[in-house]
């Protein structure tokens, strides 16, 4: 474990202990801050988050119904040149994802050409036959995307995961910045950091630009669909609706009437043009998917296919961020853009292929093995930190159902210091930039959400597994 941190790339400090250029402005400021002040501010940040109610609910943990995601006040800093390159790579990837989705639900040229094996799609639950032959308004599938990046060296950024369903975390990106600006206003006069606060406005504009044919002639009515107050990301749903000036609706507020999806308002039923749904595909329409679902709207898929509403993200986008598909992303990018991928994938072994499976089984102690359809850090094996018994048990699961797994090397993720009682200490981080897609183009908010593993040496940054977050800065030129 500690081995990984020793050999990791630290984003703030060079190997000789000197400060890297991106952090020079910050570190100059930091040197002048009395340690007691910083300690006090750290406590203030937590009180601030509790007061504002920025909490998330943890599944399967009733005692801790609402928990805070720990916030660390040392920012994660990316310089302008690095960000330019990242943006290009992200844009290319997101363009490819949308082209890929359109193709999958139409002619499937990529399968015909032999670049993607048909077996990956066959029986894949994330592929929705209901979407076949249908093009969403504006041709956009993934209105909001989160691309999870990890870094292993000065210029070595890799994509760990694409989140093309309903990526969350953007409210933390915004609140982390608010918190930093409230705590250390003078810092932002010393270091020029690119703005993130207009994300909700950009989101609203991007969603409105994807309005369906039925919305022509008026300003599109946008609503955010939440599963309700008990959902782990409820705070974010309310936050985004609030910031966009959109209604926050639940399934029980909606019904299909005269070919439109309408919400029950105090003045009567009002049609919705664009629904930013934070409800999974399965629960969206009991008539088309899970019949017992009460979180969605009966008949919304029919309205959707008839051009009566835009659903963001489009149903069926999950096929693009499936981990079985992930390993084909380099091919997918080349196929649709005709370009070499700017951002690399993390090397991935598909356990469905017998050679790879044999290699993975032989090297479990060094690998990270993930479920193809899993997320949130659940159901995975981190070889280097697991006991022999855990590894043996996992090997059995793997042999029984190899198609269900992929494996990746244990990456030596970059570190950024966090503020601890004993001073600054390096911890592993990742980065989730947020990307908006509309017919007007692809819009990437500078920075994103930095997640940080708070335990020394740990590589797991997921908030559901005790990770924290940092404010992420992209420096202005």
Partner 1 sequence: MLGRSANGIFWLFRYLERAENTARLVEAGFRMALTRDAADASDEWRSVIVTLGLQGAYQAKFGNDYAGSNVFNFILRDRDNPGNVLSMVEQARHNARMVRTGITREVWEAVNESWMILKQELARTVTETRLGGVLDLIRRQSTLVRGAMEGTMLRNDIYYFARAGSFIERADNTARLLDVKYYVLLPSLSYVGSSLDNVQWDNVLRAVAGDRAYRWLNAGRMEARGIAEFLMLDGRFPRSLAFCYAQLRDYLDRLAVEYGDRLETHEIAARTHEQLKSQTIDGVFEHGLHQVIGQFIAANNHLAQQIQRDYRFTE
Please tell me the distance from the alpha carbon of residue 435 to that of residue 203, in angstroms, as a whole number.
9
Q: How far is the CB of 304 from partner 1 (least distance, A)?
A: 21
Q: Does 257 bind partner 1 (CB under 8 A)?
A: no
Q: How far is the CB of 170 from partner 1 (least distance, A)?
A: 16
Contact 295, 227 (CB under 8 A): yes
Q: Does 252 bind partner 1 (CB under 8 A)?
A: yes
Out of 10, 247, 302, 390, which residue is the one contacting partner 1 (CB under 8 A)?
247
Residue 238: CB partners within 8 Å, gap ≥ 6? 226, 248
257: enclosing H helix or E strand: strand 254-257
Region of 214-222, 259-267, 350-358, 372-380 interacting with partner 1 (CB under 8 A): 259-267
Please tell me the distance from the alpha carbon of residue 177 to that of residue 285, in angstroms, as a whole number.
36
Of 374, 321, 367, 327, nearest to 147 (Cα)?
321
Q: Does 241 bind partner 1 (CB under 8 A)?
A: yes
Site map (CB under 8 A) of partner 1, residues 101-140, x = contact:
----------------------------------------
Query: Residue 118 burial by CB count (10 A; 0-12/13-18/19+): exposed, middle or buried?
Result: exposed
Out of 13, 27, 38, 238, which residue is the one contacting partner 1 (CB under 8 A)?
238
- The tokens 């049609």 sit on which residue? 271
Site map (CB under 8 A) of partner 1, residues 264-283, x = contact:
xxxxx---------------
Residue 412: CB partners within 8 Å, gap ≥ 6? 4, 7, 8, 9, 152
Region of 44-52, 342-350, 429-437, 466-474 interacting with partner 1 (CB under 8 A): 44-52
Residue 246 vs 406, nearer CB to partner 1: 246
* Helices (H), ranges, 65-169: 80-104, 109-112
Residue 57 vs 385, nearer CB to partner 1: 57
Out of 10, 44, 109, 253, which residue is the one contacting partner 1 (CB under 8 A)?
253
Of 360, 442, 452, nearest to 397 (Cα)?
360
Of 225, 283, 239, nearest to 56 (Cα)?
239
Q: Does 43 bind partner 1 (CB under 8 A)?
A: no
3-state secondary structure of 243: helix
Q: Does 197 bind partner 1 (CB under 8 A)?
A: no
Residue 247 vs 443, nearer CB to partner 1: 247
Out of 12, 174, 248, 325, which residue is the one contacting partner 1 (CB under 8 A)?
248
The tokens describing 238, both together, are 């309310």
Give how many residues touch partner 1 by CB under 8 A.
23
Contact 439, 362 (CB under 8 A): no
Contact 102, 135 (CB under 8 A): yes
Q: How far is the CB of 54 from partner 1 (least distance, A)?
A: 10
Region of 13-21, 72-80, 195-203, 231-239 interacting with partner 1 (CB under 8 A): 231-239
Contact 460, 382 (CB under 8 A): yes
Q: How far is the CB of 154 from partner 1 (least distance, A)?
A: 41
Please tell me the distance from the alpha carbon of residue 72 to that of residue 67, in angstroms, as a whole number.
15
Region of 131-139, 263-271, 321-329, 426-434 interacting with partner 1 (CB under 8 A): 263-271
Query: Which positions lie near partner 1, rule CB under 8 A?
Result: 50-53, 229, 234, 238-239, 241-242, 246-250, 252-253, 263-268
């Amino acid at each position: 474990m500690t081995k990984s941190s020793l050999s990791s790339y630290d984003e703030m400090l060079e190997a000789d202990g000197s400060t890297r250029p991106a952090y020079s402005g910050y570190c100059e400021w930091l040197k002048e801050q009395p340690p007691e002040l910083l300690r006090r501010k750290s406590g203030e940040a937590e009180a601030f988050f509790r007061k504002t109610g920025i909490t998330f609910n943890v599944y399967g943990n009733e005692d801790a119904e609402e928990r805070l995601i720990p916030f660390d006040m040392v920012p994660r800093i990316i310089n302008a040149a690095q960000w330019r390159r990242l943006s290009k790579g992200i844009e290319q990837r997101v363009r490819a994802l949308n082209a890929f989705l359109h193709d999958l639900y139409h002619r499937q040229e990529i399968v015909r050409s032999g670049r993607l094996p048909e077996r990956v799609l066959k029986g894949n639950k994330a592929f929705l036959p209901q979407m076949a032959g249908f093009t969403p308004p504006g041709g956009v599938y993934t209105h909001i995307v989160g691309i999870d990046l990890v870094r292993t060296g000065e210029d070595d950024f890799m994509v760990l995961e694409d989140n093309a369903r309903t990526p969350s975390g953007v409210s933390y990106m915004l609140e982390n910045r608010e918190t930093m600006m409230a705590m250390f206003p003078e810092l932002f006069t010393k270091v020029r950091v690119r703005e993130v606060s207009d994300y909700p406005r950009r989101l609203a504009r991007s969603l409105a630009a994807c309005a369906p044919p039925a919305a022509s002639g008026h300003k599109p009515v946008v609503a955010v669909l939440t599963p309700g107050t008990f959902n782990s990301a409820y705070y974010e749903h309310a936050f985004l609706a609030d910031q966009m000036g959109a209604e926050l609706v639940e399934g029980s507020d909606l019904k299909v009437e005269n070919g439109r999806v309408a919400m029950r308002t105090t003045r009567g039923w009002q049609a919705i043009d664009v629904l930013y749904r934070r409800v999974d595909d399965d629960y969206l329409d009991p008539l088309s998917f899970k019949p017992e679902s009460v979180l969605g709207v009966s008949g919304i898929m029919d309205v959707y296919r008839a051009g009566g509403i835009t659903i963001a993200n489009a149903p069926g986008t999950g096929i693009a961020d499936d981990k079985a598909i992930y390993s084909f992303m380099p091919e997918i990018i080349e196929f649709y853009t005709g370009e070499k991928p700017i951002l690399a994938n993390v090397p991935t072994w598909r356990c469905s292929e017998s050679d790879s499976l044999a290699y993975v089984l032989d090297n479990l102690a060094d690998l990270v093995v993930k479920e193809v359809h899993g997320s949130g850090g659940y159901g995975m094996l981190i070889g280097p930190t697991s006991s022999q018994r855990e590894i043996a048990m996992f090997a059995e699961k793997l042999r029984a159902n190899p198609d269900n797994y992929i494996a990746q090397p244990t990456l030596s993720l970059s570190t950024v210091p966090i503020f601890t009682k004993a001073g600054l200490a390096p911890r592993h981080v990742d980065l989730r930039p947020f990307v908006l897609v509309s017919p007007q183009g692809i819009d990437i908010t500078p920075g994103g959400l930095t997640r940080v593993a708070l335990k020394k040496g740990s590589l797991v940054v997921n908030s559901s597994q005790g990770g924290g977050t940092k404010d992420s800065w992209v420096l202005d030129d």
